[in-house]
A and B are shown apart, each in its own frame.
Chain A
Amino acid sequence: DGGITQSPKYLFRKEGQNVTLSCEQNLNHDAMYWYRQDPGQGLRLIYYSQIVNDFQKGDIAEGYSVSREKKESFPLTVTSAQKNPTAFYLCASSIDPTGGEQYFGPGTRLTVT
């Protein structure tokens, strides 16, 4: 059963703590993406990676970090430098890194208090 998995579905953290969100895909896609979605809003791109060991900042990268050591995995770390980290985080992948169709995971809802 191919797809993208994100874990956990809900995550709670205290302010000042770093937290890492998992994203795994078995679709053999080269490109992977992390988005942030705030209530009632669209998606904003945090980071993207078009190939293993390479990634680029999106529109709102400040306070976030990523790694892409394996094709299947693209974890996102929300650092304590992110001023407003509470949000819904979505991971996606694409076989076409030039603006093609993206496949999304189920999302992780992060709450920081």
Chain B
Amino acid sequence: SQQGEEDPQALSIQEGENATMNCSYKTSINNLQWYRQNSGRGLVHLILIRSNEREKHSGRLRVTLDTSKKSSSLLITASRAADTASYFCATPNNAGNMLTFGGGTRLMVKP
């Protein structure tokens, strides 16, 4: 069963615009992670936010976490064509021995 669900499933924007994608999860967590996957490649870890954090930044990435709503958002500012990829959120299960990934948001940034 999926713990995280991303929204929207697909997003198409122009270069320079901001992209926002959301993740909702079901059970309590101690962290939430975002990954990027370029077509046909492995996943790359972007950012990890802990349950006691509300916001975290890394370059053009901004992640927020609202544990009361069981949701997180990933904002990519000033998007570039190279940001075109699928983005996944992932959360540890209750036992903390595995990550559960959502279905992903497919982002297309048009030059």
Contacts and interface: CB of A to CB of B under 8 A. Distances in A.
Interface of A: 4, 6, 33, 35, 40-45, 48, 50, 56, 58-59, 88, 90, 92, 97-107, 109
Contacts of A107: 40-42
Given A99-B30, A101-B33, A42 B101 contact: yes
Given A99-B97, A107-B40, A109-B40, 8 more contacts: A43-B88, A43-B101, A44-B101, A45-B98, A98-B97, A99-B93, A102-B90, A103-B45
A102 B88 contact: no
Contacts, number: 66
B98 A58 contact: yes
Top 4 A-B pairs, shortest CB-CB distance = A99-B92, A104-B42, A98-B96, A43-B101
